[in-house]
Chains A and B, each alone.
Chain A
Amino acid sequence: MRKTIIRAGEYHDSVFLLSISKKLRALPGVNQVVAAMGTDMNKTVLEDTGLLDESGRAATSKDLILALDIAEEDVANTVLAELDFCIAGGESGGDGPKDYPSLDMANAAHPDSNLVMISVPGAFAALEAEHALELGKHCFIFSDNVELADEVALKKLGREKGLLVMGPGCGTSLIGGYALGMMSAAARGPIGIVGASGSGIHQMAMIIDRAGGGISHAIGTGGRDLSDEVGGSTMLAGLELLEQDPETKVLILVSKPPAPATMQRILERVRQCSKPVIVHFLGGDPELVRKAGALAPETLEHAARMAMALVAGETLPASPYEDYARELDPVAASLAKAGGGSLRGVFCGGTHAEEAALVLERLGLTVHSNLPLPCCASLKSPLQSEGDCIIDIGDEIFTQGKPHPVIEPSIINPRIIQEASDPQTGVILLDILCGFGAHPDPAGVVGDSISQVLREAKQRGQELAVVVSLCGVHNDPQDVEGQRRTLEEAGAVVFFNNAQAAYCAGKTILLRRGEKQ
């Protein structure tokens, strides 16, 4: 129905009325509204729209015309109420600008900012980082696919300016108790970490936290820092910072083994360090580390326990494998009721995957993997598992154009189902990461798939076990105990310890095959 309301002598400017008309048009039951002063031009508009009636025609340029085409009479009251609300000022204007179109503008408004976090496509990340360094900011560069030459140049610029360049390809840091990237909010304490591996840092910080210790700072370097081209620039800078840091009593370095020349450089610097240093180069030669006067742990957990023992002045822990055998062999036995089967590991954390592969290798398994580890047999395709297998699902082939699996773990589910549907599969080994920057409920995302595959395997008569390496601390935004319960209720065996999870899974397979370690 059409209806015209004239409010004689009420003036509003045309811009205001145009914007009001748009709002009124969006109300339910409104087909058309024009709110306009009764000028000749506006009357023409109303005439064109078929909304000009006699009363509108009689209105003058001093009168407000509200011309309505509405579903029913009552709607007019809603429109009038909204009109009056808008006239009275409407909703107050927002809280001011929240997003800045450029780094310069953000910096102009926040000159005291000291860190720029960069997660833009790699081709542009170097440009933004260079700009940030020129502005005198430290950088955390999550982006990967940054040219190697750019990384070298950025780190050189950072060194010259006394600025820390974490990354490119840095997923994890913990500065003064605050998590950057994807990281658990581990408690503060005297242990400092520098690492080229996100999940390695994460794992150690979790174990230290859960054992009652704490982290001063954890500095991520990015995966390529220890190439000879980059020369360990950020690791050396981090080592320097932690050596000077009064809160830090013990240092841990963690990464894959550095390139030869860089290995020498790092270990030379370690030798000169005035604080005790634990160096965990996964898969590297521990003798080189020991010769540099540092401690060489066997697993991430072992490194964490060594650091805590040093802080407490206690005896250093021996090889963890004796503990694993004592504690985990019974668990493995309970999972190994039937014979046969392969181990299939699907990992979000690259270092978790590497550690798992190293643990399995030590147990005597031949591990196929898409990891670039010398101990692993390569796969024809990362998309298809073979034999005993560890898949790093953070690999580019899985993540292209998608968020990292720690941020969006649903990417794991199809792979879990794929592995379970292979009658060869006896144990599925997973890692789940909590913390800031991680998915708010990773166990919820993966739990359904776990219970589904276990249920279906049971129906088929297939003996399938799921073992999970869960990484998280009590201060994390996810309720980690709740995460554990969700996974256990889904039927998984859960460890807050990656090496233990791998050991248990590997041992289960061995027992099933009736092999001896």
Chain B
Amino acid sequence: MSNLLNSTLSVINVGLSHFADSLDAQGIPTARVKWSPPAGGDPVLARFLRSGLQSIAQKVEEANARAFKHIINAEPYWVGIKRARDVVPGMEPNVILHSGPPISWDRMAPVQQKGILGAVQHEKLAEDEAGALRLVESGAISVRSAMDMGVAGAGAGIVSPSMVVNVCRERNTGKEAYCVPFEGRVGLGVWGVYNPEVEATLHRIETVLGPAIDKALAASDGIPVRNIIAQGLQMNDDTHTRQTAEGYILVSEIIPLLLQADLSNAILQECVDLFVSSERWFHPLGIASALSVLKGIKGMEYCTLLCTMCGNAVDYGIQVSCLGDRWFTSPSPYLTGMYLSPKWSQKDAVPWMGDSCIVEAYGLGAFSGAAAPAVIRLRGGSYQDGIQQSEEMKQITTGVNYNYPIPLLGFSGPPTGIDILKVGMTGITPLAHGGIISHQGGQIGAGVVRLPFECFRDAIHGVSERYGLQA
């Protein structure tokens, strides 16, 4: 080790910027750490994380390495569009799903309640909203968390048995995950908006377009989503707020399949119109793919990586691999960002709602901020801020996904595999990109959210309990 007295000073300042200023004034090279308390400011937890885990440290490291490898090597494919009742296990005729962790009806955000009442009507179980409400309150309708059912619900995350879902299958494990197709600007599933226009759109997708596209996919091996993401990340997409490139690549992949699917010209035209109408078509495929990958690490003993993260506008919930289906929740945080119209502000918005941030758990979205300067710019940031954002997330992840090289990260990949122990140690919680949704339903902006620390703290305590440690 170098003798400090013979060396040229080069300092890292952790704490008061006052001292860094005085080092600067003397011309000493000084790197500044913008320090925030680790472990959410809980010194007992901080100490436990540094020294209380030794007995399981090696097992944790091995399990996390195995899980990380699984995530990196995973190959999600888009293989079909099916009725939820036909593919989602346990999707009984009276089951309606919502995004986020499970929540009781009385605590649920009005926008999600509205979506569920709409879905009851869509299922023709009730004539009107009042009738739907009676059914829900009587317990005849089983309202459940989509994530608990293996479905990722973007936005309000409303899924009912006859709605169609994109099916993504991870090839190495065969695990499937589901997400409703993008329904345009007014939709029941994502936005919790139900009206005759939505009903007509849903009906058309469920009865005509879904089966047509499914037929086209069925005649192929499916469409490899990983390849599309890999290209998209090099073309300014983060795969959450922005999937412009990925959407166009998807169009070029699906059209040849549609052309071979023996569809009538009118249907073909309508399918092409559907895809061309919005590049957001790719979004649910990214979401379902991420979930199909992360299902593969659920329930791995000693694995401390996140396998689920989502919100329902009231609670934000996470699940940790080694703790299986157990939820850890905190109050759902608000996004900060840009509103689509100057008339909107945070008071019009609900806190984070949706399962789309599962893509962050797969290394995309906010974790791939460096890939998408255009998204960072939405918040007034520069491309350096995007790099900084990915670098920050690197502090809480297991490694980088080399299958997704990002030019501005020197063609290194996005930080991937969120380790709750690292979140605890650093006090840095994950970021997620996403849409800002109004109380009435509908998107009113886009931005970023910083997840609350408390659910991570509780999950760390969950891990220590499970392995008999004193936290």
Contacts and interface: CB of A to CB of B under 8 A. Distances in A.
21 contacts: A15-B242, A21-B342, A34-B342, A45-B341, A97-B387, A102-B33, A105-B395, A110-B10, A110-B29, A113-B31, A117-B19, A120-B15, A127-B47, A142-B16, A143-B15, A161-B1, A175-B5, A178-B9, A436-B23, A436-B25, A436-B26
B375 A15 contact: yes
B14 A13 contact: no
A180 B26 CA distance: 10
Contacts of B388: 97
A401 interface: no
B7 A15 contact: no
Contacts of A21: 342
Nearest to A437: B22
B341 A34 contact: yes
B43 interface: yes
B53 to A, nearest CB: 14
A93 B382 CA distance: 6
Contact of A162 (B1, B5, B11, B47): B1
A424 interface: no
Nearest to A179: B26
B9 A176 contact: yes
Interface SS of chain A: mixed
Interface of A: 13, 15-16, 18-19, 21-22, 25, 32-34, 41, 45, 48-49, 93-94, 96-107, 109-110, 112-121, 123-124, 127-128, 130, 132, 136-138, 142-143, 161-164, 175-176, 178-181, 185, 216-217, 241-242, 244-245, 403, 407, 436-437, 477
B130 interface: no
Given A117-B15, A118-B15, A106 B4 contact: no
Nearest to A23: B380
Contacts of B301: none
Given A18-B378, A114-B4, A104 B395 contact: yes
B66 interface: no
Contact of B33 (A103, A136, A175, A477): A103
A130 B49 CA distance: 13
B377 interface: yes
Interface in B329-358: 338, 340-343
A101 B33 contact: yes
B107 interface: no
Interface string B18-36: 1110110110110111111
Contacts of A128: 14, 35
B22 A105 contact: no
Given A22-B338, A185-B26, A407-B18, A97 B384 contact: yes
Interface string B355-379: 0000000000000000000110111
A142 B19 contact: yes
Contact of B15 (A19, A105, A112, A142): A142
A217 B5 CA distance: 7
A54 to B, nearest CB: 20
A110 B28 CA distance: 13
A241 B43 contact: no
Contacts of A110: 10, 12, 29, 31
B11 A116 contact: yes
Contacts of B454: none
B435 to A, nearest CB: 13
A93 B338 contact: no
Contacts of B7: 114
Interface residues of B, number: 61
A98 B25 contact: no
A94 B10 contact: no
Rank and list the top 4 A-B pairs by shortest CB-CB distance, nearest first: A119-B15, A123-B43, A93-B382, A162-B1
Given A114-B7, A120-B35, A162-B1, A101 B395 contact: yes
Contacts of B1: 136, 161-163
A164 B4 CA distance: 8
A99 B19 CA distance: 14
B31 A106 contact: yes
Contacts of A100: 31-34
A93 B11 CA distance: 26
Contacts of A18: 338, 340, 378
Given A93-B384, A113-B29, 19 more contacts: A32-B342, A48-B341, A48-B343, A49-B341, A99-B34, A101-B33, A101-B36, A106-B12, A116-B12, A117-B11, A117-B12, A117-B23, A124-B37, A128-B35, A175-B4, A175-B5, A180-B23, A241-B5, A403-B18
Contact of A114 (B9, B34, B378, B394): B9
Contacts of B22: 179, 436-437, 477
A15 B374 contact: yes
Nearest to A41: B185
A178 B50 contact: no
B378 A19 contact: yes
Given A106-B32, A121-B37, A127-B38, A15 B377 contact: yes
B428 interface: yes
A189 to B, nearest CB: 14
Nearest to A477: B25
Contacts of B38: 124, 127
Interface hub of B4, B8, B185 (most chain A Cβ within 10 A): B4
A285 B19 CA distance: 36
Nearest to B384: A96
A242 B38 CA distance: 36
Contact of A130 (B20, B50, B375): B50
Given A101-B395, A176-B5, A217-B5, A114 B18 contact: no
A102 B12 CA distance: 10
Nearest to B380: A19
A51 B1 CA distance: 68
A217 B3 CA distance: 12
B426 interface: yes
A137 B280 CA distance: 49
Contacts of B4: 114-115, 138, 163-164, 175, 241
A127 B50 contact: yes
Contacts of B185: 41
A241 B11 contact: no
A136 B4 CA distance: 11
